[in-house]
Structure 1
Amino acid sequence: MIDMLVVDLSRWQFAATAMYHFIFVPLTLGLSFMMAIMESVYVMTGRQIWRKATLFWGTLFGINFAMGVATGIVMEFQFGMNWSYYSHYVGDIFGAPLAIEGLMAFFLEATFIGLFFFGWDRLSKVGHLVVTWLTALGANFSALWILIANGWMQNPVGAKFNPDTMRMEITDFMAVIFNPVAQAKFVHTVSAGYLSGAVFILAISSFFLIKGRHVELAKRSAVVAASFGLASALSVVVLGDESGYVATEHQKMKIAALEAMYHTEEAPAPWTLIAWPGENGEPGFHISIPWVGGLITTRSFTEELPGINELVERAEDRIRTGIIAYSALQDIRADGSNEEARAIFDEYWPDLGYGLLLKKYRVDIENATEAEIAMAAQDTVPGVWPLFWTFRIMMGLGFFYIAFFAMWFYRASRGWIDTNKPLLWFSFVTLPLPWVAIESGWFIAEFGRQPWVVEGVLPTFYAASGLTVLDLVLSLSFFVLLYTVLLIIMVFLMVRVIKAGPKDKLFADDDDADDFVMAAIPATPANKELGS
């Protein structure tokens, strides 16, 4: 039987490392494009203030990028360490986008980052500008392939289970790439990254203006951030709506849980603004807005939005057909030439994953009782109230930033960037809020998919490795400690760069550049000789 404590600890470890890693990713996405915009202005106008701005924000980008790489590598190793059956089951599909990301996007980004830092006095203005834009494009390509992989976990298209290899295999790679869930997640996620970059630059620029330091650079940076931030905030909300609409098509249980909607409502369904749990966990006191929920999720006046209870009943039916698929699979494994079993399996294999939900309760799932089927179906309901409130936090912050950047865009157009010190302080102290929204979004995406590691295909508990509780306690403690130290180091380095302020050159001379390079190389005897 499955040890659920091992599964839960494996989930906690991956969640901890993933959420730490995604502290760095949004800022990499946002800063990359904004420093490219600033350098474009420098190349077009020749004004040194824009070169200085690009250097300053580029230095902060470099620190953040390095930490993102350090924290991201561990996540990929966890698929083999903590989720070995997942890697076996879907590795043919999930591994392809990850490999392409490493070969195409990450190498592109990493290569041009080096040229960005060391090419200022070695490349022409236009040549260096091309390098900067390619760095930004590399960061976004990297996000694209990661989100294609994650989107497939949310909506597993273009693949089929092979009973001979006992693995999911690709049948249509283009369907995997152009998966509507992946595409919606990509544009929504990168828009959130652009928003975080704009907030970061506006917050630091506000701090400089409060202190009366680097005023000209801060004003110009704030103007760029206000314009870029308004476009990003609008994009986040609009594209988030598109992401929700796509989820309605492919992840109905997630949408029902987000709305705490236990019963199917007449079309178009209302949207619940706030609610508190009542009897049996269902909403007690609540405030709802008629029609809004149905219009947002289905974009029609006639299409119903199924409630949790109805979806659980549908899950029971799929579990029963999943038992048929599982039984046929056992017959195929016993006799590979059994054509009757293959015909049955071909008809029912899409529900095999639902049958596997019963493995939580018994090994011989062909003999499952109605009570066990009911319990397995109930497991398809994710945690309703954490999702309900997290979604409203994320959505509220999205609309807040539309108003926030609209106000700053108006002030920038009037030349009122530095005329209101309380407003500057407000902009500075709200710096962490984009990360609250972003981490909330990832919580919704991943926690809302439970109990599936691959939606409808592979239950999370069935995907874990056979580790011990002690293994996971030690590794989880180690990673949390290590990542916390890395986060502290990043904050320390960024604060140090911000306090030092912008410079005319990244390095004062070639010796400083050499010291920068050698500091990043392990101090082995061979490397010391090479450095000399």
Structure 2
Amino acid sequence: MIDFTIVDLSRLQFAATAMYHFIFVPLTLGLSILVAIMESVYVMSGNPVWRRMTLFWGTLFGINFAMGVATGIVMEFQFGMNWSYYSHYVGDVFGAPLAIEGLMAFFMEATFIGLFFFGWDRLSKVAHLAVTWLVALGANFSALWILIANGWMQNPVGSVFNPDTMRMEITDFIAVIFNPVAQAKFVHTVSAGYVAGSMFVMAVSAFFLLRGRHRELARRSMVVAASFGLASALSVVVLGDESGYVATEHQKMKIAAIEAMWETEPAPAGLTLFALPGKDGNRYEVKVPWVLGLITTRSLNKELPGIRTLVEHAEVRIRNGIQASASLDAIRKDPNDKAAREAFAKQWPDLGYALLLKRYRADIQNATPEEIQRAALDTVPGVAPLFWSFRVMVALGFYFIAFFGLAFLMSCRHRLGENRAFLRVALWSLPLPWVAIEAGWLVAEYGRQPWAIEGVLPTFYAASGLTLTDLVISLGFFLALYTSLLIVMIFLMVKTIRKGPSEHSVLDDAPAGAGTLPEPALARTPR
């Protein structure tokens, strides 16, 4: 029988390292674009303050990037360490985008970030600007391939189970790349990163203005962040709607759990603003009629199935999966059994549902109706955590639109930075994008449970056969290591921000007509 203590600790370890890692990723995505915008203005205008801005924010970007690399590398090793059967079962598909990310995106980003910091006195302005944009492009490409891999976990297209190798294998790599779930997740995730980067620039600039320091740099930085942040916040909401629509097509149980919708409602379904979800139904519901149906189905006549209806569908798929398991056994006994192969070719998409029965018995083909019903109920993720996490994320999304909208309006009136109350709000809003982002990942990943690969591989079936001691030691080590890295990152960030950019660039002091200036020291000094 499955040892669920081992499974839960493996999940906790991966969740902890992933959520630590994703503290750094959004800021890398957001700051990379903002730094590139600032250097673009410097190249076009020649105003040295924009160069100091590029160097200062670029230094903070570099600190964050280094910590992101350190925390991200460990995650990939966990697939072989904690999730060995997952790696065996779907490694042919899942490993391909991860390999491309490492070979194409990460090395591109890592190479050009070196040129960004050490190429100021070796490259022309335009060449260095190209390097900066390539760093930003590499960061976004890296996110693209990671999210293609993650999107396949949510919607396993372009692949098939091979009964001879007992593994999932790619049949259409183009379908994997252009998976609608992956594409929706990518644009939504990077937009959230842009919001985080913009809020970071706004908050640090507000800190400078409240202290009366570096006012020229801070005001210009806030103008850039306000404009970019407003566009990004609007994109997050619009693209989040698209992500929800795609999830309705491919992950109906996740949508039903997010809305705590236990019963199928007449179309179009209402949107629940507030409720206290419970297994027997919800209390104190406050609903807006029609809105959920319009958002998720984009129609007035399509029903959105409730949790209990989807559990009934899961029972049907489990029974079909039992037949697939029987056909698979026949193929393994006689690889030349054409009838079994033909039957399995039609039945294999439900094989994963039959594997849910492994929680209750090894010989799944002899499962009782009660065991089938229990396995079907396991397809329901935790409703209350999903319900509230989603609402926290959405509420913060609308807050960001209001915040950046006000900032943009103030910048148009040349009053950005004058209102101290707004500056305090900006400073204290710094952690909110990360709260929204972590809540969003909780919805995405916890909402997929009990699946490691949606409909294909149950999470408990994907785990390695580690001992409790192994997991306790590794979990404690990773938590200590990641916490230490986070503390180091915060210390370095705070130290750099307190020091601030140099009041005068070397360019400011250069006499007219002076040639190329030596800049090794300039490249080392945050500006």
What range is the shorter-chain TM-score in?
over 0.9
Q: Deviations over 1:429-486 (max 9, x none)?
A: 1100000000001000000000000000000000000001111111111101110000
3-state secondary structure, aligned to 1:261: coil
The one-letter code matched in structure 2 to 1:98 is: L
> Retained in 2: the 8 A contact 1:43–1:126?
yes
| 2:120 alignment partner, SS class | coil
Deviations 1:102-124 (A, max 9, x none): 00000000000000000111110
2: CA distance, partners of 1:57 / 1:337: 64
Structure 2 counterpart of 1:416, one-letter code: R
Aligned to 2:362: 363
2:513 aligned residue: none
- Give the structure 2 partner of residue 19 of structure 1: 19
* Aligned-partner Cα distance in 1 for 2:272–2:486: 37
Describe the superposition over 1:365-421 as per-residue Cα deviations: whole angstroms up to 9, x where unpaired: 000000000000000000001000000000000001001100000000101112111
Provide the residue aligned with 1:178 in structure 2.
178
The 2-side partners of 1:174 and 1:277 are apart by 40
* SS of residue matched to 1:264: coil
Q: Name which of structure 1's ranges 79-88 and 269-278 shifts more when overlaid on structure 2.
A: 269-278
1:404 aligns with 2:396: no
Q: What per-residue deviation string (whole Å, max 9, x for no partner) do you get for residues 131-161 of structure 1?
A: 0000000000000000000000000000000
Q: Are the counterparts in 2 of residues 140 and 190 from structure 1 also a CA contact under 8 Å?
A: yes
Letter of the structure 2 residue corresponding to residue 470 of structure 1: T
Q: Which amino acid aligns with 1:402?
A: I
Correspondence 1:376-415 to 2 at 5 A: 376-415=375-414
Q: How does 1:190-209 map onto structure 2 within 5 Å?
A: 190-209=190-209
Superposed displacement of residue 282, structure 1? 1.7
What is the root-mean-square deviation of aligned Cα atoms in Å?
1.5
Give the deviation of 1:130 after TM superposition.
0.3
Q: Equivalents in 1 of 2:523, 2:45: separation in Å?
A: 28
Give CA-to-partner distance per residue, 1:78-112, whole Å, 9 cap, x none: 00000000000000000000000000000000000
Quote the offset at 1:505 in angstroms.
6.6
Post-superposition Cα deviations, 1:4-48, rounded to whole Å, max 9, x if no partner, equal: 110000000000000000000000000000000000000000000
1:132 and 2:132 correspond: yes
Task: Name the count of aligned residue pairs.
Answer: 515
Q: Could you say what secondary structure the match of 2:122 adopts?
A: coil
Is contact 2:277-2:383 (8 Å) kept? no
Question: What is the rounded CA distance, in whole Å, between the counterparts of 1:404 and 1:148 in structure 2?
Answer: 31
Aligned to 1:119: 119
Name 2:65's counterpart in structure 1.
Answer: 65
* One-letter amino acid of the counterpart of residue 161, structure 1: F
Q: Deviations over 1:288-346 (max 9, x none)?
A: 00000100110000000000000000000000000000111111111111112111111
Aligned AA for 1:455?
A: E
Distance 2:482 2:198 in 1: 25
- Counterpart of 1:453 in 2: which secondary structure? strand
**2:450 aligned residue:** 451
Structure 1 CA distance, aligned partners of 2:445 and 2:523?
Answer: 42
Kindly tell me: are residues 182 and 149 of structure 1, through their superposed partners in 2, closer, same or farther at Cα, counting changes over 3 Å?
Answer: same
Give the CA deviation at 1:515: 12
Deviation at 1:166, TM superposition (A): 0.3
The residue identity in structure 2 corresponding to 1:492 is F
Q: Aligned residue for 1:528?
A: none
What is the deviation of 1:508? 9.1
Amino acid at match of 2:344: F
Retained in 1: the 8 A contact 2:30–2:196? yes
Q: Residue 435 of structure 1 corresponds to which residue in structure 2?
A: 434
Shift of 1:426: 1.0
Q: Does the 8 Å contact 1:143/1:190 carry over to 2?
A: yes
Counterpart-to-counterpart distance in 1, 2:454 and 2:270 = 26
Structure 1 spans left out of the alignment, 5+ residues: 517-532
- Distance of 2:134 and 2:29 partners within structure 1: 12
Q: Give the aligned residue type for 1:214.
A: H
Q: How far apart are residue 510 of structure 1 and its match?
A: 3.8
Cα pair distance change 1:487/1:508, threshold 3 Å: farther
Cross-structure match for 2:496: 497
TM-score (ref. length: structure 2): 0.96
Q: Which amino acid aligns with 1:501?
A: G
Q: In the alignment, is the contact (CA less than 8 A) between 1:382 and 1:447 conserved in 2?
A: yes
Counterpart for residue 255 of structure 1? 255
For residue 132 of structure 1, what is the amino acid of its counterpart?
A: T
Corresponding residue number in structure 2 for 1:49: 49
Following superposition, which runs of at least 4 residues in structure 1 exceed 2 angstroms of deviation? 503-516
- Inter-partner Cα distance in structure 2 for 1:380 and 1:71: 31
The equivalent of 2:346 in structure 1 is 347
Distance 1:123 1:353 in 2: 55
**What pairs up with 1:317-356 in 2 under 5 angstroms?**
317-356=316-355
Query: Cα–Cα, structure 1 residues 501 and 513, in superposed 2: closer, same or farther, change >3 Å?
Result: closer
1:393–1:440: 8 Å Cα contact kept in structure 2?
yes
1: CA distance, partners of 2:363 / 2:105: 45
Q: CA deviation at 1:244?
A: 0.3
What's 1:239 paired with? 239
CA distance in 2, matches of 1:321, 1:277: 31
Conserved 8 A contact 1:55-1:505: no
Q: Give the % identical residues.
A: 72
Contact 1:452 1:459 in 2 (8 A): yes
Tell me the secondary structure at the aligned position of residue 268 of structure 1: coil
Report if aligned partners of 1:52, 1:505 keep a CA contact under 8 Å in 2.
no
| Partner SS, residue 213 of structure 1 | coil
TM-score (norm 1): 0.95
Partner of 1:431: helix, strand, or coil? coil
Whole-Å separation in 1 of the counterparts to 2:119 and 2:524? 14
SS in structure 1 of the partner of residue 449 of structure 2:
coil
Aligned ranges 1:87-126 → 2 under 5 Å: 87-126=87-126
